[in-house]
C-alpha cells in the first residue's frame, strides 16, 4: 500500500484528496503548511507527495527547493488554484514530478500517481544496478568441468521458476555469481536483484536491514526505511551467508516465506512482499541444525533446490581458462597492454593450492599484472602465488 503525503493549508482540499485516495486504497498523511510538510517528508517514508504552491510559512516552491537540497527522492506533485504555464514550467524545471491545477481531476490524479510509482520502481532498480554492475562486469560462469556443467544445467532448469534455491560451497567459489545467473535467466530479470550479506551486518541491525523500520523504532531511526524484502518486491532477494543469521531474524524470515508478509521494526502493520528468495552459505546447515544454531523449518523452506559450487581445487582443469579471463579483465581495468601467461605459468597455477578459491585466483592474477613483465612465467606464479614468499 503506497503512503502519500498531502501538504495543503486548505483543510477542505486535504479532506477531499484524502477521501479520494483512501477509497483507492492508499495510506494518507497530512501537513497543513510547508514547514510541517518538509519535516514529515524528511523523517518518514512516502512514495508520493502532493504539495500546494500558495501556503503560509513556506510555499510549495520553497518546499520543493528544500526537499531537493536534502536529497529526498520522493516524487513531488505540485497543485495550485492559481497556476499558469510559467508556474508549471518553473516547478518541473526545478525537479517537481508533475503539476496539477485545481479543481483536481480524479482521472488525472490517478494517472499521475501511477506514473510516479513507476518512477519510484525505476529509481530503486537503477540504485541496485549501480551497486552490482562493477562487481559483475564481464562476469559469467566460466568452466567446462563436470561440476560446472551440472550447475549450468541446473540454472537452465530452475531459473524460470520461482522455486527457492540454497547455494552451498566454500568462500570465494562463486555462489553469488550462481545466484545472479538464476536471477538473470528468470522471469524477474527486469526487476531488482537485492543482496544481503547476513555475516557482514551486526545481529542487532539485521532485522532492520531485512524488514525496514519505522521512525523512532530505535535511537538512530530518524525516518521510515524500507527493508530489503520490500526493495526486492517483484525481483530476487539473495541472502548470502544465511548460516550466520540470528535466531530472531530466522523466525521473521520464516514467517515472510510462509505468508509473504513482513512487519517493519517498530511497526504493527503487515506489508505484503513478492520476491523470490535465494540463499547461500559456506556452512553445513545440517550440522548447524543439530547443534541448535539454525532452524530446521527455515532450512526446508529455503532448500527447495540445492546447488553446490565446487572448490577451485576440485575443478583444476578450469584454472587456465579462468586465469586468462581474469587476465583480460584486470589488464583492461588497469589500462595496461594485454599480458600473457607462459605454458609453465598456467601449469603452476593448476598445481597451486587455492584455499581462497576463485576470489584468490583473481587477486593473484591482478598482483602479477601489476608486478610482472609482459609475459607471466611459472617462476612468477611460484613467487607471487605463495604468501610466504612475499
**What average pLDDT does the segment 42-61 reach?**
87
What confidence score (pLDDT) does residue 300 get? 96
Report phi then psi at 296, rounded to 5. -70, -35
- The DSSP output letter for 356 is T
Judge whether 3-120 and 138-310 match in fold: yes
Decide if domain 138-310 falls under CATH 3.50.50.60.
Answer: no
CATH of region 313-389? 1.10.8.60
Confidence of residue 374 (pLDDT cuts 50, 70, 90): very high
What confidence score (pLDDT) does residue 103 get? 81
Residues contacting residue 225 through CB under 8 Å, at least 6 positions apart: 45, 208, 212, 213, 264
Residue 124 has pLDDT above 80, yes or no: no
**What average pLDDT does the segment 343-363 reach?**
95
CB of 143 closer than 8 Å to CB of 310: no
Confidence of residue 83 (pLDDT cuts 50, 70, 90): low
Q: Could you tell me the CATH superfamily of domain 3-120? A: Response regulator (3.40.50.2300)
pLDDT digits (tens, 9 = 90+) for 179-221: 999 999 999 998 999 999 999 888 888 999 999 998 888 877 7
Q: Which carries the bigger pLDDT value, residue 107 or residue 351?
A: 351
The domains of the chain are located at 3-120, 138-310, 313-389
| Beta strand segments in the chain, E | 3-7, 27-31, 48-52, 76-80, 98-101, 165-168, 193-197, 212-213, 225-226, 236-240, 261-263, 270-272, 276-281, 305-308, 340-341, 375-376
Amino acid at each position: 500500500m503506497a503512503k502519500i503525503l498531502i501538504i495543503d493549508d486548505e483543510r477542505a482540499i486535504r479532506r477531499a484528496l484524502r477521501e479520494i485516495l483512501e477509497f483507492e486504497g492508499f495510506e494518507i498523511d497530512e501537513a497543513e503548511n510547508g514547514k510541517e510538510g518538509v519535516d514529515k517528508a524528511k523523517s518518514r517514508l512516502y512514495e508520493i507527495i502532493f504539495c500546494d504552491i500558495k501556503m503560509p510559512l513556506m510555499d510549495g516552491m520553497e518546499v520543493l527547493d528544500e526537499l531537493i537540497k536534502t536529497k529526498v527522492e520522493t516524487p513531488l506533485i505540485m497543485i495550485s488554484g492559481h497556476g499558469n504555464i510559467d508556474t508549471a514550467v518553473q516547478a518541473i524545471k526545478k525537479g517537481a514530478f508533475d503539476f496539477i491545477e485545481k479543481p483536481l481531476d480524479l482521472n488525472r490524479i490517478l494517472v499521475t500517481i501511477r506514473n510516479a510509482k513507476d518512477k519510484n520502481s525505476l529509481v530503486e532498480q537503477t540504485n541496485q544496478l549501480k551497486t552490482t554492475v562493477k562487481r559483475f562486469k564481464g562476469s559469467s560462469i566460466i568452466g567446462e568441468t563436470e561440476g560446472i556443467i551440472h550447475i549450468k544445467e541446473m540454472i537452465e532448469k530452475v531459473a524460470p521458476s520461482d522455486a527457492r534455491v540454497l547455494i552451498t560451497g566454500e568462500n570465494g567459489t562463486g555462489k553469488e555469481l550462481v545466484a545472479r545467473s538464476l536471477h538473470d535467466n528468470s522471469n524477474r530479470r527486469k526487476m531488482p536483484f537485492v543482496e544481503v550479506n547476513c555475516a557482514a551486518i551486526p545481529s542487532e541491525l539485521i532485522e532492520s536491514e531485512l524488514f525496514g523500520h519505522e521512525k523512532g523504532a530505535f535511537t538512530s531511526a530518524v525516518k521510515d526505511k524500507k527493508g530489503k524484502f520490500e526493495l526486492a518486491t517483484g525481483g530476487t532477494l539473495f541472502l548470502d551467508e544465511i548460516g550466520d543469521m540470528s535466531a530472531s531474524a530466522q523466525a521473521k524470515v520464516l514467517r515472510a516465506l510462509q505468508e509473504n508478509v513482513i512487519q517493519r521494526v517498530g511497526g504493527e502493520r503487515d506489508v505484503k512482499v513478492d520476491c523470490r528468495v535465494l540463499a547461500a552459505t559456506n556452512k553445513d546447515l545440517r550440522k548447524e541444525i543439530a547443534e541448535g544454531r539454525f532452524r530446521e523449518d527455515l532450512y526446508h523452506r529455503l532448500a527447495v533446490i540445492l546447488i553446490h559450487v565446487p572448490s577451485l581445487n576440485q575443478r583444476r582443469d578450469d584454472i587456465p581458462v579462468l586465469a586468462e579471463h581474469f587476465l583480460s579483465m584486470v589488464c583492461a581495468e588497469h589500462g595496461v597492454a594485454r599480458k600473457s601467461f607462459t605454458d609453465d605459468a598456467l601449469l603452476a597455477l593448476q598445481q597451486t593450492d587455492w584455499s581462497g578459491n576463485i576470489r584468490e585466483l583473481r587477486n593473484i592474477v591482478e598482483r602479477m599484472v601489476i608486478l610482472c613483465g609482459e609475459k607471466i612465467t611459472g617462476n612468477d606464479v611460484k613467487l607471487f602465488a605463495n604468501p610466504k614468499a612475499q
